[in-house]
Structure 1
Amino acid sequence: MALSPMMQQYIAIKEQYKDCILFFRLGDFYEMFFEDAKLAAKELELTLTGKNCGQDERAPMCGVPFHSADSYIAKLVEKGYRVAICEQVEDPAQAKGIVKREVIKIVTPGTVTNQSMLSEKENNYLASVWRGKDKTALAYCDISTGELSATAFKTETDCETLQNELVKINAREVILSEDAAGFLDIDGLKKITNAYFNILNERYFSFEAAETLINHQLSAENASISGISRNFADEPELTCAVGALLSYLIETQKQNLSHLTQFNIYEIGSHMALDKATIRNLEITETLYDKKVQGSLLGVLDKTHTAMGGRKIKQWLREPLNKVGEINMRLDAVEELVNDVIMRNNIKEALKRIYDIERLAGRIACGNANGKDMVALRNSVFVVPDIKSELAGCESALLSDMGLELSDLSDIYNLVDAAIVDEPPFTIKEGGLIKEGYSEELDTLKLSIRDAQSWIAGLEAKERERTGIKNLKVGFNKVFGYFLEVTRSYYELIPENYIRKQTLVNCERFITPELKETESLVL
């Protein structure tokens, strides 16, 4: 027996994403079939059912509601699975035949962007490893914050150095070439880092493709490379590692990476190298036995008031400074903050009002932000001028430089404040997001819609009076839109301008040119 059209579509899409669990959107649910269903039912403790698909046996099936899918996706990703999100990409009312569906995103351990799936004070790094003849390169990125760093080191020390770097950044996922996988002790690295390792085809690490991707990212207006002075063209290993990272992100996110424009290239040895045993035994980020932050060095020192500060202090503890000049600059800044109690308290109170700007910017750049995110961004940048003002009078070089480099972001504040309502809806689809007065064109359209809705609301009473059809009704469905319904007993009163649209057992449905014109404004 032939498979049903829907199941044929499912299998065609699944064929392209064999290494993923496919969340296939059907109405208000994401459904999984066949082996994906068996696996998901086991891992998520779901009930395994079946669906008729045109074959003799029912296809194994399980599903989750789309509005609560994030928690289920998070559980699968936490276990190291890749999840492909397949959505309906056309209106079912306008579809001819089966609704078109496409995978809009692949969620992996290192590419999570959803706020509910991320730890507030922990970076979520995706790392890329390329092993050349003389050097091994490591690049890593947190797509939720837009951070991207890279380094290269001599191949003869690659295993130990790579292990220390992966432990330092606590990478969630590592992509590497087939060649690198053959030389490195992957099983050993898995045990030490607890990362998910993904071996990719060599095409991801193509130098020419990598160079093109990097040049594209660096062509953005605000793009820059910081850290040690290096030219990507002179570092083929770095180029391949960063290029593979960008290629993998584009493939999984299905969109551009406009917020990844700040590249930090650093030298191994610029910070103190701490291996996993040292970090664990010194209880730097968690206690030895309970694995809790409370009681560790981080638990004692972390008095930060922002998520960004929480991530930064953890990073500093994992990679302490080892250059005297940088250490003294930081100590001078700490001393000034300790001595100037008023300035310290003013900055602390301002920081309490700042949301996670890094991840807000990441969600906005990825197109995942909602109205509440925009208001949170507005409220955060509102206090930046206060912080800049406090830093302006500082004497220590580090704080003084921060004050000079910090933008007051007044243009962003003014734009969001002028455009977004103070109490925005949770989702953009609900409407009512833009303030009246921001866009004359939008205001005119809203007014037209309100007028059209009022006209339709009064149409039933108006037409009953005009035609004498006492039980005339104005109805709506997704197929025909708005229509006028007349029962058989009043057929002789039907006006000439009524256009027959559908005949039912006891009534007929009609439209009028004026009704269709008004409907186009409402729908």
Structure 2
Amino acid sequence: DTTTLFVPEDYLINCTPGMRKWWELKSQYFDCVIFYKVGKFYELYHMDAVTGVNKLGLVFMKGTWAHSGFPEIAFDRFSNILVEKGHKVVRVEQVETPEMMEARCKSLAHPTRFDRVVHREVCRIISKGTQTYSILDGEFSETHNKYLFCIKEKAADPTGLHHTYGVCFVDTTVGKFYVGQFLDDRHCSRLRTLLAHYTPVQILFERGNPSVETQEVLKGLRSSAAQEGLIAG
């Protein structure tokens, strides 16, 4: 699974508490760029720092590993740049204050050094099909809908004459959600028409599910839509 990364425990035990948390998150979101909140800044480490330098024009900070970052006010601008370049961005926020951390540690019978770091959690995963806009993200500049398209194909028709699809369109720019199911011919005519009318920017499907014919239809959108196969369950 290229979306995850195995990080040995004997490596994590030698990390600082903050870096251990980063590696734990990176192991789950290896295919994403993590914007890791530290105080009033978002920091990028290791391979993400390299991406930040190459794609965002950031500079490496001094240290023993690759490290870059930017002020929190620039989150919208930098996340949008990466998403438009085809990356997914994970936003990690601090969910407790240093005072809350101290109180939590005092409540533990035997706190370890890994407990003595403020809790951080993933609060948002941003891709082309999941971008939302609010006052915190700056001005809304899109002039067209951005659809996230999910498709599930029913088991193949023994005659090979029909396809049955379950589909879902989500337009997060305006908060609209469409879901439906339909029977199609062997040429996938209705599916082709649907995708022509509502051209998606991102397509999700179950790994191994779409038939060969359906995959050929989706291949025609690779230049305009990011595509990702997900593991069921």
1:390 matched to which residue of 2? none
RMSD across aligned C-alpha pairs, in angstroms?
A: 2.1
**CA distance in 2 between partners of 1:88 and 1:162 (Å):** 43
Shift of 1:167: 2.9
**One-letter amino acid of the structure 2 residue matched with residue 107 of structure 1:** I
1:138 and 2:167 matched: yes
Misfit runs of 4+, over 3 Å: 115-121
Do 1:111 and 1:143's aligned partners in 2 also have CA atoms closer than 8 Å?
yes
What SS class does the counterpart of residue 48 from structure 1 fall into? coil
1:75 and 2:107 matched: no
**CA distance in 2 between partners of 1:7 and 1:182 (Å):** 43
Residue from 173, 179, 200 that aligns with 1:150:
179
Question: Quick one: structure 1 residues 88 and 28, their matched pair in 2 at CA, closer, same or farther if it must change by over 3 Å?
Answer: same
**One-letter amino acid of the structure 2 residue matched with residue 202 of structure 1:** A
Shift of 1:78: 0.8
What SS class does the counterpart of residue 69 from structure 1 fall into? helix
1:66 and 2:76 matched: no
1:501 matched to which residue of 2? none
1:196 and 2:221 matched: no
Shift of 1:118: 4.6
**CA distance in 2 between partners of 1:182 and 1:71 (Å):** 39
Question: Quick one: structure 1 residues 175 and 50, their matched pair in 2 at CA, closer, same or farther if it must change by over 3 Å?
Answer: farther
Q: Which has the larger radius of gyration?
A: 1
Shift of 1:102: 0.6
Do 2:153 and 2:166's aligned partners in 1 also have CA atoms closer than 8 Å?
yes
Residue from 122, 132, 136 that aligns with 1:113:
132
Residue from 19, 22, 27 that aligns with 2:31:
19
What SS class does the counterpart of residue 63 from structure 1 fall into? strand
1:8 matched to which residue of 2? 20
**One-letter amino acid of the structure 1 residue matched with residue 197 of structure 2:** K
Shift of 1:44: 0.9
Alignment of structure 1 residues 485-500 onto 2, 5 Å: none
2:145 matched to which residue of 1? 123
**CA distance in 2 between partners of 1:25 and 1:146 (Å):** 27
**One-letter amino acid of the structure 2 residue matched with residue 93 of structure 1:** E
Deviations 1:206-233 (A, max 9, x none): xxxxxxxxxxxxxxxxxxxxxxxxxxxx
What SS class does the counterpart of residue 190 from structure 1 fall into? coil
Residue from 69, 84, 87 that aligns with 2:90:
84
1:93 and 2:104 matched: no
**CA distance in 1 between partners of 2:211 and 2:127 (Å):** 23
Length-normalised TM-score, structure 1: 0.35
**CA distance in 2 between partners of 1:162 and 1:50 (Å):** 52
2:196 matched to which residue of 1? 167
1:481 matched to which residue of 2? none
Do 1:130 and 1:180's aligned partners in 2 also have CA atoms closer than 8 Å?
yes
Name the stretch that deviates more: 136-145 or 70-79.
Answer: 136-145
**One-letter amino acid of the structure 1 residue matched with residue 34 of structure 2:** L
Do 1:130 and 1:138's aligned partners in 2 also have CA atoms closer than 8 Å?
yes
**One-letter amino acid of the structure 1 residue matched with residue 133 of structure 2:** N
Residue from 58, 69, 87 that aligns with 1:46:
58
Question: Quick one: structure 1 residues 39 and 120, their matched pair in 2 at CA, closer, same or farther if it must change by over 3 Å?
Answer: closer
1:31 and 2:63 matched: no
**CA distance in 2 between partners of 1:82 and 1:18 (Å):** 10
**CA distance in 1 between partners of 2:210 and 2:141 (Å):** 29
**CA distance in 2 between partners of 1:131 and 1:117 (Å):** 38
**CA distance in 2 between partners of 1:14 and 1:39 (Å):** 14
Shift of 1:50: 4.2
**CA distance in 1 between partners of 2:142 and 2:57 (Å):** 27
**CA distance in 2 between partners of 1:113 and 1:36 (Å):** 23
Do 1:14 and 1:22's aligned partners in 2 also have CA atoms closer than 8 Å?
yes
Counting aligned pairs with the same residue, the percent is 26
Question: Quick one: structure 1 residues 83 and 155, their matched pair in 2 at CA, closer, same or farther if it must change by over 3 Å?
Answer: farther
Do 1:177 and 1:201's aligned partners in 2 also have CA atoms closer than 8 Å?
yes
Do 2:184 and 2:191's aligned partners in 1 also have CA atoms closer than 8 Å?
no
Deviations 1:463-491 (A, max 9, x none): xxxxxxxxxxxxxxxxxxxxxxxxxxxxx
**CA distance in 1 between partners of 2:101 and 2:71 (Å):** 23
Name the stretch that deviates more: 161-170 or 5-14.
Answer: 161-170
**CA distance in 1 between partners of 2:165 and 2:100 (Å):** 53
Alignment of structure 1 residues 81-480 onto 2, 5 Å: 81-96=87-102, 97-115=116-134, 116=138, 118-133=140-155, 134-151=163-180, 152-154=182-184, 156-158=186-188, 160-181=189-210, 183=212, 184-185=215-216, 186-191=218-223, 194-203=224-233
What SS class does the counterpart of residue 166 from structure 1 fall into? helix
**CA distance in 1 between partners of 2:69 and 2:54 (Å):** 12
**CA distance in 1 between partners of 2:185 and 2:47 (Å):** 41
Length-normalised TM-score, structure 2: 0.75
Shift of 1:143: 2.6
**One-letter amino acid of the structure 1 residue matched with residue 219 of structure 2:** D
What SS class does the counterpart of residue 49 from structure 1 fall into? coil
Shift of 1:120: 4.5
Question: Quick one: structure 1 residues 13 and 146, their matched pair in 2 at CA, closer, same or farther if it must change by over 3 Å?
Answer: same
Specify every segment of 5 or more residues in structure 1 that has no aligned partner in the other structure, as ranges: 52-57, 204-523
Deviations 1:15-73 (A, max 9, x none): 2222211110011111111111112221112112343xxxxxx1101112111110000
Do 2:34 and 2:92's aligned partners in 1 also have CA atoms closer than 8 Å?
yes
**CA distance in 1 between partners of 2:209 and 2:141 (Å):** 30
Structure having greater relative contact order (Cα 8 Å, sep ≥ 6): 2
Deviations 1:393-415 (A, max 9, x none): xxxxxxxxxxxxxxxxxxxxxxx
**CA distance in 1 between partners of 2:90 and 2:147 (Å):** 19
